[in-house]
Structure 1
Amino acid sequence: MLTLPQIKNAKPRPKTYKMADGFGLTLLVQSDGAKLWRFRYRFAGKEQMLSFGQWPQVSLAEARQSRDDARTQLRGGLNPGAVRKQTKAQAKVAAANSFRAVAEEWIELNRGKWRATHVVRVQSQLDRDILPSLGDRPISNISPAEVLAVAKRVEGRDALDQAKRCLQRVASIFALGVRTLRCETNPARELVGVIRTRKVQHRAALTFDQLPDYLGRLENVGAGAETKGALEFLLLTATRSGETRGMRWSEVDMDKGLWRIPGERTKTGMEHLVPLSKQAKAILERMQPLTGNGDLVFPSPVKKNEPLHANALLAALRRMGYETGDITAHGFRATFSTTLNELGHNPDVIERALAHVPKDKIRAAYHRSQYLEERRVLLQAWADMIDAKRKGANVVPMRKKAVG
């Protein structure tokens, strides 16, 4: 029988040679120095051979154990080579039917429909929260309790939205498994509502009557032109903070008075058209000499090639005297919606101005330009109302038909 020192000291020769360990196990020492384990046996009158790997990755003890296992199979009337092939085939089938395999297929099926950033988010949650527990399990064997345990671990971090998305994504993966006959049921489908719901906290927003005071503070605050321009532009356009902060000159058509936000920069992933009021265009005209030579309309004053940071807006609001909970940049959208709905404007036009996509997929298909002219009238009326309020005039509610 071989010893470890013999194996370590075996030197390569011009030709491959064998070192026997006994009961069919040998070590092949090749001319390049590689040392390979081989097991030779006879089955049905024919000599056959199995490879057990390479030393030292496979130790002497491990090679002997593999040999003994093969000899046990022979005594039971089985061909070790055939058993290995069958085991590999079963492992391959099991891998194709694992939760991980179906999850990877699900991502590939949706990759063309999702934004690249969304693909990254989905893959990140799979890698972090889902696949470590479910990935290597046969999808047909996973129980509702196992799925619930995964979601509850995420909930335990107080990441309630992530926990709900976790369940939704697992349910979508199981749905693909059912469609491709790799499982019969969808255990995640029955778990709707098991994640606790956080009490909704609405974004802090000013009332319409508070806007003159806000605009007065904004005019006098010590902040850069980019920050002050963005804070006023947000109010006039009712767009999302990230959309305004990342606004590019290439997206603006001053002649048509239109801002075209591409889908990769919107929350919905769809292009959004924003008609520009005279007041909004005036802000852009003020910014043109300052930032018109660059890509961004409201760049960071520190890094001109990067958008203005959300913290810059927050810091300006704090310098204006607003405390946490008084106001947020996102809250202007609530002011816009509440005020115009109370004044009797068409709620469908308001919703489209806020880039809220209809749930109906057919309606959503042409949402980009839906109510475009009505939105143009609405946003101009909104800007005029703000100007009038700033000057101390009373704003009289307009009839719905006056603005679409």
Structure 2
Amino acid sequence: MPKKHLTSQFIKNLKPRDKRVEYYDQHLIDPETNTLKRKGVKGLLLRLTKAGNKYFYYSYWFDEKSKRFKIGSYPNIGLSDARDKARDLAAKVNSGIDPQAEKNKRKYQPEKQSFKELAKDFEERHLPTLRDSTRSEYKRIIENELLPELADLVVTDITSHRLRKILDDKAIKDGSPTMANRIRAVLSSMFDFAKKVIGLKIQDNPVKGTSTYKAGENKRDRVYDEEEIKNLWNHFNQFDQPIKSVFKMLLITGQRKTETSRMRWNDISEVRTEDFQGIVWTIPAKDAKNKKSHEVPLSEMAMEVIQMMKPISGDSDYVFESPRKENKPIEWLKSSVKRIKDNSKVPDFRLHDLRRTAATYMAENGINPMIIGKVLNHKGLARENTITARYNRASYLKQKQQALDRWSSKLKNILSDSGLKANITRIG
């Protein structure tokens, strides 16, 4: 069997052959220095079928028998996730557990299925029946909102009370009643799937014991004044990397939390056109909320933050690599947000307010609301329609660059105590 340090690009470019081929993952060694450049995962393999299908497997020995555990198909599961799964499986084998036997046993005990297992079945069997936009939103909600709270719980043990707490936290604490209703809809669909398709012994859908929320009743237009910005920046500096740099980047660029935390080194490049020259961060369509690729010119202040991350995460795919999971983006900032609420002079601090604050100060500095919308990738503010969508990207790159440079200059003045107090026009 051929051995290869697997990369996403290698897997993506693989073409079918006249026979099935399997590639075993291995470490990448620098031939000149004989030092390790990138780690592989022992036992992880990629199978390329004659039809061109690609599957990840974990190969292992148990009771003196060679076994294979199917992790999933590419690209439904990416290389990083496959490596994480292979590491988890290796830990089980080392603990005397046969993963394949455990999996076979679960097939005959569906009532013991965990929420994480339900989510996997739901994504593989139900999501393909939905429209692309709906499928993407369901997957995002499952991965970002539900799995962190429910992953290890047995599905039949999940109560209405447990779900109500998740929904209340989103609607009331986070001030997002509309998103809470969307999460509720996904949960309801998942529990119906568990009962009707998988056959779990669920007496009633626990989501029925929760209520919907009136969208907009908690609408928020909070913008931080200059003293609050200085206070927050000071608290950002008290965190370890990459948390403090994520907070700073959110304020400097005005982008969304999830899109920012998933910034990749490969997404940053120099762009030159007739009327634009600069460093641009391209948010891929799959990471963008509206599923459209979005270009963010990076100001000098933003580049200073990124350069600070280079010696820390330069060997990772992600600029803001998780301190807990190798080659994965940082995900959870809730505890850090709580620390700021508890210890700063901004007890009502929320991450989304950084985005609104950046937009508001851009408006105060004379930036056209449509350009602010382009900077934020906010369809409403940007007045996006068929005509504007076809404009040359370079013209907007230049205007977005000017907007972010002005905001960066203003922010530097605020932090150095040399700026004047602003009469702020709120952008919601």
Q: Say which one has the larger Rg.
A: 1
TM-score normalised by structure 2 residue count:
0.47
TM-score normalised by structure 1 residue count:
0.49
